Structure 1
Amino acid sequence: MYSDLPFSQACENNKAPILVLLQQAFAKCSNVLEVGSGTGQHAVHFAEHLPQVIWQASDQGDYIPQLSERLLRAALPNLPQPLVLDICRDAAPSQPYDGLFTANTLHIMPWPVVEQFFNRLNQLVKPQATLCIYGPFNYNGHYTSESNQAFDQSLKSRDPAMGIRDIETVISLAASVGFTLQHDYAMPANNRLLCFSK
């Protein structure tokens, strides 16, 4: 059904364990914005298993055509067509969301874009909202595994502005815009799921 579309093995591997925690985190949410939906594998899986949630995928314009095709084929009633959303340039969606999810984005975004992401959170979500961020993080400036260290070095060889972020800095940025860390879950492959509330 999707064999001709872009595919992420990492998404395929991590979608089930992430879903288990999102079912708790987004239990009271009715509309969730996903920032950086990429291939759309997460969006399809989560929308299918969270039928009470309108799951709004989004990404930069270059990724929209193939992302849109995957969502179209999924044909789920709670999975609308994706939004074009560049954190640095595009206006916020007219409708604020009560949940926001992003996976494997903070280490790809240059640091000024990470700051912009947090600065814009309150334009994207309602006054009471849940924020879930998935990916690798460092603790007290240290890598949690050799594989994360190698991954970080690979990222920085592509672009020095990329890299695994320190969790303490991310928590501080979130707090500066009103989000408090509720849970820091250990995930497979040395990743974490951070759940914040506002």
Structure 2
Amino acid sequence: MTIKPHSPSCERNREPILGVLREHFADRRHVLEIGSGTGQHAVYFAAALSQLVWQSSDRAENLPGIRAWLDEAALPNTPAPLEFDVAGTWPAMRFDAIFSANTLHIMAWRDVELLFARLSTITTDDASVIIYGPFNDEGRYSSESNAAFDQWLRARGAHMAIRDAGAVDALAGRASFNLIGDIAMPANNRCLVWRRRGA
């Protein structure tokens, strides 16, 4: 039996994120979570937002832990997690909502670019996208803790770094997504919210 992985940060940030999801995913039906990590967010948000089919996804090595959380929760709106790497094969289905938490700063910038460049291939014409995590503004850190976190990231891997909100929004804009929300969250994090411009 797989031991369920556990992230304390998921416990801390799930309620503030849920508030954003309740507002911006209220009319959504099928969400893809990119980088589901432990699986904690998937079961918590799927339980609270029963109108959504919550499709979790991650790299192959993280899928057993996600399955452990999904199997224990046994929710009707959480299908089996998808194996998904943005640099690999993308799902052959379309979603009207995309959610990702704490992923952009651990991905290489070329993969962040690829993520946004290919979003249109898996989203409906009116899809909503919510990305949670720390962001800089014009290269400036929002707090000393984020500056320290960025230094820790760069020491861990040269490809990692806190991303600039403007640079990420520029990628989204080129992919026909308009920024409709930039919401301050606890611990110097933010939720950036986009809506796709219809084809």
Q: Answer yes or no: same fold by TM over 0.5.
A: yes
TM-score (structure 1 length as normaliser): 0.96
* 1:30 match: 29
1:105 Cα offset (Å)? 0.2
Establish whether residue 70 from structure 1 lines up as the match of residue 35 from structure 2: no
Q: How many residues align?
A: 195
**Which ranges of 4 or more aligned residues in structure 1 deviate by more than 4 Å?**
none
| 2:36 maps to amino acid | S
Is the 1:72–1:81 contact (alpha carbons within 8 Å) kept by the matching residues of 2? no
SS in 2 for 1:120: helix
Measure the CA separation in 1 of the matches of 2:42 and 2:99: 10
1:65 Cα offset (Å)? 1.2
* 1:143 match: 141
1:4 Cα offset (Å)? 3.5
* Percent of aligned positions that are identical: 49
TM-score (structure 2 length as normaliser): 0.96
SS in 2 for 1:101: strand
Establish whether residue 95 from structure 1 lines up as the match of residue 93 from structure 2: yes
* 1:160 match: 158
Is the 2:3–2:68 contact (alpha carbons within 8 Å) kept by the matching residues of 1? no
Structure 1 unmatched runs, 5+:
none
1:94 Cα offset (Å)? 2.1
Structure 2 unmatched runs, 5+:
none
Per-residue CA deviation, residues 48-79 of structure 1 (Å, 9 max, x unaligned), is 00000000000011111111121111100011
SS in 2 for 1:152: helix
Q: Which residue of 123, 126, 129 corresponds with 2:124?
A: 126
User: How big is the alpha-carbon RMSD for the aligned residues of Structure 1 and Structure 2?
Assistant: 1.0
| 2:10 maps to amino acid | C
Per-residue CA deviation, residues 96-150 of structure 1 (Å, 9 max, x unaligned), is 0000000000000011111111111011211110000000000121000000000
SS in 1 for 2:47: helix
